[in-house]
Structure 1
Amino acid sequence: MARIAGVDLPKNKRIEIGLTYIYGIGLSRSQEILEKIHLDGNILVHNLNDTQIVAIRDILNNEYQIEGDLRRVESINIKRLMEINSYRGKRHRTGLPLRGQRTRTNARTRRGTKKTMTGKKKAPRK
């Protein structure tokens, strides 16, 4: 099992797909990385040798922001938006959608589950 950037890559998947399990790497970036080290994307993760894994690690560490660093930068950007009281910062603070979606219906993921008549007592049975 290959461990890159603190993430265990699934051993029975192609390396092209396996790299997408790392936060901050999608399919296009994964293909770009494999092109740089002249590696075929169809090789399974458990068939990689140590030199290939080290080459992938070196590229990721030197050229890309991934995992913890990327999460930290994103959270700092969101905090900055909230501090300067921008529209997007206010939406982040209230937990509403930020990109113009409607909120009268839909938006269930961002707003939470529907609560109907909380605290209402049931009528006693006779």
Structure 2
Amino acid sequence: MRPWRHVDGRLLYLPASQDVWNQLRARLQLAQRLSGTVVWVPHPGAIGIGVDVDLPIGGFVDVLLLPRDTTHWPLEGTQMEFYIWWIDEYPQIRLLPADPHHRREDFDEWISSQNGPAAAAFRSHHSTY
């Protein structure tokens, strides 16, 4: 069952159980590429976007990884590629748009200054950084 579902006219995030998430998470890797569809853009510029990645767990792109200019954000229904940016205990996959036009404007500079595991994994998969 899909985690992003319309219930009574509202889009809700109803992920699979923690057990399903734990099993799925063991098969995912930082910087892994996934296809997805943008399903939720609540307040452009505020928190980020929800993505259906055709798994029982949904994806989310944090506002900090998206362009400041919200006219460059992908719209609901946009099908595109993403990289896994973060995976933790919460049943949700944090994503980074694969298309540089849908990333923060200063991404190249920003990624080179980040020390976390997600940034390191991204840099190791993309030799230009």
TM over 0.5: no
Which structure has the larger Rg? 1
- TM band (smaller chain): under 0.3
Higher relative contact order (CA 8 A, sep 6+): 2
TM-score, normalised via structure 1 length:
0.26
TM-score of the pair, normalised by structure 2: 0.26
